[in-house]
């Protein structure tokens, strides 16, 4: 373990397979916690690979468990589940075209298919003063699949019928 402490008196985000907690006295990093060490190691490995190409936030630790800071409300679990410290990304408005561009870059640079590419799994990081769209869910569920929401064999928001980013093909 190290000197990082989870701030359990502040925000946290709960996802389908991970929780993101703030780190006490740090505004730009957080702790991603998973239900098992195996899931944490998988997500860390994928995020490390993507972060090399600025397609995900930076990974800042090994797979570890962290202690919680003393809560002002008295609730104080001793230690977290398995996870890793990561650079925080911001949420914002993102277009289908930006999502597809991210999906395509992840495939071309990292040879991974980002299936679960919905708005909640996309964020922004600052690079050279400019926002950069990144993948923020690197768990197995995001990269394990065979078809997108439109039954297209390639991931992304393009319609499989007309290949547009927003269409009315399936509206009846």
For 59-88, the pLDDT digits (tens) are 999 999 999 887 777 666 789 999 999 999
Question: Which residues, at least 6 apart from 92, have a Cβ–Cβ distance to it below 8 Å?
Answer: 123, 124, 131
**DSSP conformation letters of 46-101:** HHHHHHTTTSSPPB-S-SB--EEPPPTTS---SB--SEEEEE--B-----HHHHHH
Tell me: pLDDT of 167 over 70: no
- Whether the predicted pLDDT of 165 surpasses 60: yes
**Backbone angle region of 169, left / alpha / beta, with phi > 0 → left and psi within -120 to 50 → alpha:** alpha
Question: What are the residue boundaries of the structural domains of the chain, listed by start?
Answer: 5-143
For residue 149, what pLDDT is reported?
Answer: 56
| Residue 160: per-residue pLDDT | 60
Contact 117, 102 (CB under 8 A): yes
Identify the top-confidence range among 6-10, 93-97, 98-102, 147-151: 98-102
pLDDT tens column, 9-43: 888 888 878 999 999 999 999 999 999 999 999 99
**Beta-ladder partners of 74:** none
Q: What is the pLDDT of residue 172?
A: 40
Per-residue pLDDT, averaged over 90-118, amounts to 92
* Whole-structure pTM value: 0.86
- H/E element, 6: strand 5-6
User: What is the predicted pLDDT for the residue at 159?
Assistant: 65
> Mean pLDDT over all residues of the chain?
87
What integer pLDDT is reported at residue 151 of this predicted model?
60
Indicate whether 1 pLDDT > 60.
no
pLDDT in tens, 108-120: 999 999 988 888 8
In three-state secondary structure terms, 154 is coil
Give the single-character DSSP code of 106. H
pLDDT of residue 116: 87
């Amino acid at each position: 373990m190290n000197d990082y402490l989870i701030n359990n008196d502040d925000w946290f985000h709960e996802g389908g397979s991970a929780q993101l907690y703030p780190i006490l006295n740090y505004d730009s990093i957080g702790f991603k916690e998973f239900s098992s060490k195996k899931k944490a190691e998988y997500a860390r490995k994928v995020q490390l690979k993507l972060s090399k190409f600025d397609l995900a936030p930076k990974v800042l630790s090994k797979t570890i468990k962290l202690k919680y800071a003393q809560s002002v409300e008295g609730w104080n679990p001793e230690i977290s589940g398995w996870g890793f410290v990561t650079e925080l990304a911001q949420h914002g408005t993102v277009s289908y075209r930006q999502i597809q561009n991210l999906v395509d870059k992840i495939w071309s640079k990292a040879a991974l298919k980002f299936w679960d590419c919905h708005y909640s799994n996309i964020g922004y990081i600052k690079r050279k003063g400019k926002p950069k769209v990144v993948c923020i869910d690197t768990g197995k569920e995001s990269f394990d699949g065979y078809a997108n929401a439109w039954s297209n064999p390639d991931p992304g928001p393009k319609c499989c019928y007309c290949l547009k980013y927003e269409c009315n093909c399936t509206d009846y």
